[in-house]
Amino acid sequence: GSTVENVVLNIDLAPTFLAMAGVEAPPHMDGRSFYRLLFRRKRLRDSVPWPDTFLIESSGRRETAEIAAETKLQESLTNIEKNLTQTLEQVTAEDPQLDNQVSVVVTGNKLERLALECQ
């Protein structure tokens, strides 16, 4: 039971498995074996030069998901505004006196109108 402070990445798994099997990793393979980091003797672990920084790249999938969520939110808000407009039109058609009160707020945010209507 010991803790090793070195950071390994998923690309280091294949070279490590090959090293455990006694096979040398081909030169075109990314990553490096961390097999020697698994030794119990600290002296052997410390003799392995190991990088302490890594480059991380993103494929953009996260950004795509955020854009999709934002688009869905915008569509929901648009639907709320359409429903709100229809509701206000129905209310003012039924009671013309409310038309003046609602029209004062029409220039503002439609959600503000809904809040005023609910008061």
Question: If DSSP states are collapsed to H, E and C, what string results for the chain?
Answer: CCCCCCCCCHHHHHHHHHHHCCCCCCCCCCCCCCHHHHCCCHHHHHCCCCCCCCCCCCCCHHHHHHHHHHHHHHHHHHHHHHHHHHHHHHHHHHCHHHHHHHHHHCCCCHHHHHHHHHC
pLDDT of residue 28: 94
pLDDT of residue 3: 75
Q: Note the pLDDT tens digit of each residue in 89-114.
A: 787 778 777 666 665 455 455 556 55
pLDDT of 42 higher than 90: no
Q: Give me the residue spans of the domains in the chain.
A: 1-57, 61-118
Q: How much is the mean pLDDT over the chain?
A: 76
How far apart CA 106 and CA 112 sit, in angstroms, is 9
pLDDT of 72 higher than 60: yes
